[in-house]
């Protein structure tokens, strides 16, 4: 995950662009105004992918006349629980949360729901893939491609099409941060791998810091351990870019490939210049827009339209079609114009 690069966040309070290297800056934002309030408990505001979801929600709920506030937990579960408590104290109408650890946070979210606050999850309860109402305390939920078996199969299909003979050794790079949707993606990867016997997932290694730099060392170690390695698959683009750096440092460019997902802005550039061979767009602006529709339905008393799970889609991008991609900034601008 790398620094937020969008410039959508303007309003009553100034908003700082965030990165791990500058985490001493304020990471909270509030804007808009009216007779309703929505809070987003963000696991990490430096993430360009989650940031697009947040910005899409913000555009729509502010157009509805609500105040929107985002709090950044900086990948700290205790801080995220504290952020939820802050929203409860503020008496917001709805809380949106991408939980770092839903099991640990479910108790405080239940208390918030008992207080009359609507709770909307972003990959919160991974057992509830919809389309009906998710289990309490959630009112509604968004599920993205990490939990989609079709996406996992698409990556294996891609590897089968580009690796020599459709076969090879592959290392999966996850994160050591215990985020349930990402762990579930790993479980799906192991399950789907059984249907692709020529592709050998030899090991999972972890990115401890969830950024480009954090992926380089474990990828370098894997390249040393597996001299015949053919590919890395990663849980996001920054991690895949870190793996590509390790490939370059090892003098194995062209011999080992790296593929990502989420198609974050840095991933778009990496696919264009060949650093990454492929990435999958999880359409965060569309997902944020859909989640905002659930929130607004709840605010408007349209319970049946609020209590559901919405599932995001995905699109594969390679050098063959990356020029057709519409940037997150342009998608957000179009969404704002449509309000």
Q: Is residue 204 part of a domain?
A: yes
Tell me: do 265 and 154 sit in the same domain: yes
Q: Which of 134, 71, 88, 109 is nearest to 294 (CA)?
A: 134
**Cβ pair 166, 30 in contact under 8 A:** no
Looking at the structure, do residues 114 and 156 belong to the same domain, yes or no? no
Task: Specify whether the CB–CB gap between 269 and 322 falls below 8 A.
Answer: no
Position 12 pLDDT exceeds 70: no
**What's residue 177's pLDDT?**
85
Q: Does residue 104 lie within any of the structural domains?
A: yes
Domain boundary among 281, 303, 333: 281
Q: Does the residue 249 lie in any domain?
A: yes
Q: Average the pLDDT over 168-180 and give the result.
A: 93
Task: For residue 314, say if its preceding peptide bond is cis, omega within 30 degrees of 0.
Answer: no
* Tokens found for residue 190: 């192991």
Percent with pLDDT over 70 in the chain: 90
Domain shared by 254 and 290, yes or no? no
Residue 337 domain flag: no
- Please compute the mean of the pLDDT values over residues 113-133 and round it to a whole number: 91
pLDDT at 217 over 90: yes
Domain at 62, CATH number:
3.40.50.2300
**Residue 97 and residue 31 share a domain:** yes
Q: What is the mean pLDDT of residues 176-202?
A: 95
Q: How many CB atoms lie within 10 A of CB 11?
A: 16
Interacting residues of 1 by C-beta distance below 8 A, sequence separation 6+: 44, 46, 47, 48, 49, 50, 210, 211, 236, 238, 264
* pLDDT grade for 34, boundaries at 50, 70 and 90: low
| 22: confidence class by pLDDT, cuts 50, 70, 90 | very low
The answer to whether the CB of 163 falls within 8 A of the CB of 231 is yes
3-state secondary structure the chain: CCCCCCCCCCCCCCCCCCCHHHCCCCCCEEEECCCEEEEEEECCCCCHHHHHHHHHHHHHHHHCCEEEEEEECCCCHHHHHHHHHHHHHHCCCEEEECCCCHHHHHHHHHHHHHCCCEEEEECCCCCCCCCCCCCCCCCEEEECHHHCHHHHHHHHHHHHHHCHHHCEEEEEEEECCCCHHHHHHHHHHHHHHCCCCCEEEEEEEEECCCCHHHHHHHHHHHHHHCCCEEEEEECCHHHHHHHHHHHHHCCCECCEEEECCCCCHHHHHHHHCCCCCEEEECCHHHHHHHHHHHHHHHHCCCHHHHCCEEECCCEEECCCCHHHCCCHHHHHHHHHHHC
With cut-offs at 50, 70 and 90, classify the pLDDT of residue 139.
Answer: very high
Tell whether 158 and 277 lie within a shared domain. yes
**What is the arithmetic mean of pLDDT over 173-202?**
95
Residues 206 and 292 in one domain: no
- Whether the pLDDT of residue 33 is over 70: the answer is no
Do 193 and 264 belong to one domain? yes
In a domain, 322, yes or no: no
Q: Mark whether 194 and 137 lie in a shared domain.
A: no
Tell me how crowded residue 95 is: count the other CB atoms within 10 A of its CB: 28
Q: Give pLDDT, residue 28.
A: 60
Range of the domain at 40: 20-143+284-312
Position 282 scores a pLDDT of 97
| Mean pLDDT, range 37-56, rounded to an integer | 94
Mean predicted lDDT score pLDDT of the chain = 90
How far is 95 from 119, CA to CA, in rounded Å? 5
What tens digit of pLDDT does each residue of 222-237 get? 999 999 999 999 999 9
Q: Per-residue confidence at 289, pLDDT binned at 50, 70, 90?
A: very high
User: What would you report as the CA-atom Rg of the chain, rounded to the nearest whole angstrom?
Assistant: 20
In a domain, 34, yes or no: yes
Q: Structure tokens of 227?
A: 């001299």
Pairing of strands 315-317, 279-281: antiparallel
pTM, full prediction:
0.87
User: Do 215 and 306 fall within a single domain?
Assistant: no
Co-location of 176 and 218 in the same domain: yes
- Distance between CA atoms of residues 161 and 221, nearest Å: 26
**Segment among 28-32, 187-191, 292-296 with least mean pLDDT:** 28-32
* Location of structure tokens 């944020």: 288
Last residue of a domain, one of 281, 300, 333: 281
Among 333, 311, 249, 234, CA closest to 280? 234
Instruction: Report yes or no on 290 lying in a domain.
Output: yes
Q: Could you give the C-alpha distances from 294 to 44, 109, 120, 284, 306, in angstroms and in order? A: 23, 18, 8, 15, 4
| 109 and 152 assigned to the same domain | no
- Does some domain include residue 230? yes
Q: What share of the chain has pLDDT > 90, as a percent? A: 83
Number of domains in the chain: 2
Q: What is the pLDDT of residue 47?
A: 86
Dist CA 23 CA 143 (whole Å): 28
d(CA 96, CA 70): 9
Residues 91 and 171 in one domain: no
């Amino acid at each position: 995950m790398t620094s937020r690069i969008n410039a959508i966040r303007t309003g009553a309070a100034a908003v700082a662009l965030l990165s791990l290297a500058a985490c001493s800056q304020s990471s909270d934002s509030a804007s808009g105004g009216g007779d309703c309030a929505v809070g987003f408990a963000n696991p990490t505001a430096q993430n360009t992918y989650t940031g697009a979801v947040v910005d899409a929600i913000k555009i729509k709920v502010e157009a509805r006349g609500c105040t929107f506030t985002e709090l950044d937990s900086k990948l700290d579960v205790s801080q995220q629980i504290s952020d939820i408590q802050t929203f409860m104290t503020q008496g917001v109408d709805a809380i949106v949360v991408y939980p770092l650890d839903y099991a640990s946070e479910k108790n405080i979210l239940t208390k918030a729901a008992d207080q009359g606050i609507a709770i909307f999850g972003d990959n919160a309860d991974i057992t509830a893939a919809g389309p009906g109402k998710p289990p309490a305390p959630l009112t509604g939920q968004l599920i993205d491609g990490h939990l989609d078996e079709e996406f996992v199969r698409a990556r294996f299909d891609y590897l089968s099409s580009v690796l020599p003979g459709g076969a090879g050794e592959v290392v999966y790079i996850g994160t050591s941060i215990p985020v349930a949707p990402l762990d579930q993606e790993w479980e799906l990867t192991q399950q789907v791998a059984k249907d692709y016997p020529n592709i050998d997932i030899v090991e999972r290694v972890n990115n401890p810091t969830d950024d480009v730099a954090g992926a380089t060392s474990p990828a370098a170690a894997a390249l040393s351990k597996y001299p015949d390695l053919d590919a890395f698959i990663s849980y996001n683009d920054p991690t895949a870019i870190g793996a590509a750096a390790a490939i370059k440092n090892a003098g194995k460019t062209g011999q080992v490939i790296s593929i990502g997902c989420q198609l974050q802005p840095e991933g778009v550039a990496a696919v264009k210049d060949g650093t990454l061979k492929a990435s999958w767009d999880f359409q965060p602006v569309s997902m944020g827009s859909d989640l905002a529709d659930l929130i607004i339905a709840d605010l408007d008393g349209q319970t049946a339209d609020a209590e559901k799970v919405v599932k995001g889609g995905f699109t594969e991008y390679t050098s063959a079609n990356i020029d057709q991609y519409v940037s997150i900034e342009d998608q957000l601008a179009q969404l704002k114009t449509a309000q």
